[in-house]
Amino acid sequence: MINDDASSATLAPLVLTVPGLGNSGAGHWQSLWEEQRADCRRVELGMWDQPHRNTWVNQLNLAIRAAADNAQRRPVVLAAHSLGCLAVAWWAKLEAADAGRLVAGALLVAPPEAEQSAIDHRLAGFAPVPTERLPFPAILVASRNDPYMNIRIARRLAGHWGAGFADAGAIGHINAASGLGNWPLGQSLLGQLLKSAILSGSIAKDAPARAGEASRLAHGQGASPAKPATDSPTIRG
């Protein structure tokens, strides 16, 4: 569900932040964006310390549909971090019929490896990492010294997803411990996606209200600008 009961009075895009393992606490750029930006709302995935893939995907699905199907039909842009990125990728895979109409763009920050090289066993439930091309514009942001995913692997993943790639420099896992404050680079990249959403008029006008496959499953410091990723098409686990 979304931490907001007020309906939007404009067609400006709505940014849904999607945290990762353990949620995003004080000092995390997602938390600061929610405090400082009127267009940001957090998706409450639940089970933050013991994430369950299908539960997270279902909660994300409900939040996206609630935002996209409201009376104003605002474009939805996702801003995901870490394991939240994999939740977005799984949602796009399972809701492929509607994903391109429901979401106008996604900022995917520091996705982790979830397979053999995962540094936390709790990530394994999101393996294998989906490699299908995302049906909406996306930018993947990676750090040169992120312990959760090597930047070369992150670039390859961006290529699979059809996402632009941004090298954020050597700033760890791009979280609160990175000391980024409200992370101006991230806001600049988000701004690119918001502008694209507005110009394209990418609003989910006809998306059905059904919860879809995701719901059914749940019931059982230098930086470079974003650019197309062109690395080899395979991802090391």
| 2 in any annotated domain | no
Kindly report, residue by residue over 27-67, the tens digit of the pLDDT. Answer: 999 999 999 999 999 999 999 999 999 999 999 999 999 98
> The pTM is what?
0.83
14-18/76-81 β-pairing: parallel
Residue 195 has pLDDT above 90, yes or no: yes
| 120 in any annotated domain | yes
Over residues 74-88, the mean pLDDT reads 96
Number of domains in the chain: 1
| 178 in any annotated domain | yes
> For residue 26, what are the domain limits?
14-228
| 8 in any annotated domain | no
Kindly report, residue by residue over 165-174, the tens digit of the pLDDT. Answer: 999 999 999 9
pLDDT at 73: 75
Rounded to 10°, the helix 53-68/83-94 angle is 70
For residue 148, count CB atoms less than 10 angstroms from its CB and return exposed for 0-12, middle for 13-18, buried for 19 or more.
buried
Q: What CATH number is attached to the domain comprising 160?
A: 3.40.50.1820
| 235 in any annotated domain | no
